[in-house]
Amino acid sequence: MKTTIQYPHEIYIIDLSKPIDISIPIKGGKENVNAWYVAPPKIEPVVDGEFTGSIEKGASTNFNNIYFNPHAHGTHTECVGHITKEFHSVNKTLNHFFFLAELITIKPEKLEEDAVITKEQVEKALGSIHPEALIIRTLPNTEEKHTKQYSHSNPPYLLEETAVYLRETGVKHLLVDLPSVDKEKDEGKLLAHKAFWNFNKEVRLDATITEFIFVPDEIKDGSFFVNMQVAPFENDASPSRPVLFKILNQ
């Protein structure tokens, strides 16, 4: 099913029948992707006295509790409330859901003991393109990203100057296949988060960061529309399902 989108002054044609889901789902158990030193998510039947919410165990329905952390256990979208004393809900701050996006692939560079995404790498990949949403796929890009245990592994991250560049060029929605845009152990500095949200000046309340995505290799770099599907939790972050749509008339 093809449809046209005017955004903001150009007309784009996309095919809604061919969505590309770039989320990592949450599943119970140790095989779920994980970060930030927390236990794996759990999905298990409610137990109340003699009642167990499982058809297999005699109930009329399956009736599960789900225990998870949105930052640690799968694709999630977060707002500036992640780093503010004041409460900000991603469910309130994200109120538009279709964005023109650019997908780029970057192999992080070595910086002493770290692997980092530099301003120069992003600038070169984007060229003259200044998208509202930017999707960064990192190399190597293996299926391990669905199950990797990231705690104490010092994953790649964005340099502060990279986040400043993205903010200054108009990127409002940043999507990465990493557990964080910042260094795992940075003494709480959160330089990339703060730079992207302009934390110490006029805070960008309408900007979001989405982490723990996965973009398969067969999806080539280029322009897409991204539909940001976010579960309606009143929280700084929420599980999300970003979905890409190819642009047919480019």
Distance CA 8, CA 19 (A): 22
Query: What is the pLDDT, as a whole number, of residue 185?
Result: 98
Query: What is the pLDDT, as a whole number, of residue 140?
Result: 98
How far, CA to CA in Å, does 93 sit from each of 90, 172, 202, 237? 5, 12, 15, 11
DSSP H stretches of helix in the chain: 90-93, 119-126, 160-168, 191-197
Distance CA 79, CA 96 (A): 13
Distance CA 211, CA 89 (A): 17
Query: What is the pLDDT, as a whole number, of residue 8?
Result: 84
Looking at the domain covering 2-25+70-246, what would its CATH class be? alpha beta
Burial class (CB in 10 A: 0-12, 13-18, 19+), 217: exposed
Label residues 23-51 b or e (16+ Cβ within 10 Å = b).
Answer: bbebbbeeebbbbeeeebbeeebeeeeee
Tens of each residue's pLDDT in the chain, 250 residues: 889 988 888 999 999 999 999 999 999 999 999 999 999 999 999 999 999 999 999 999 999 999 999 999 999 999 999 999 999 999 999 999 999 999 999 999 999 999 999 999 999 999 999 999 999 999 999 999 999 999 999 999 999 999 999 999 999 999 999 999 999 999 999 999 999 999 999 999 999 999 999 999 999 999 999 999 999 999 999 999 999 999 999 8
pTM of the model: 0.97
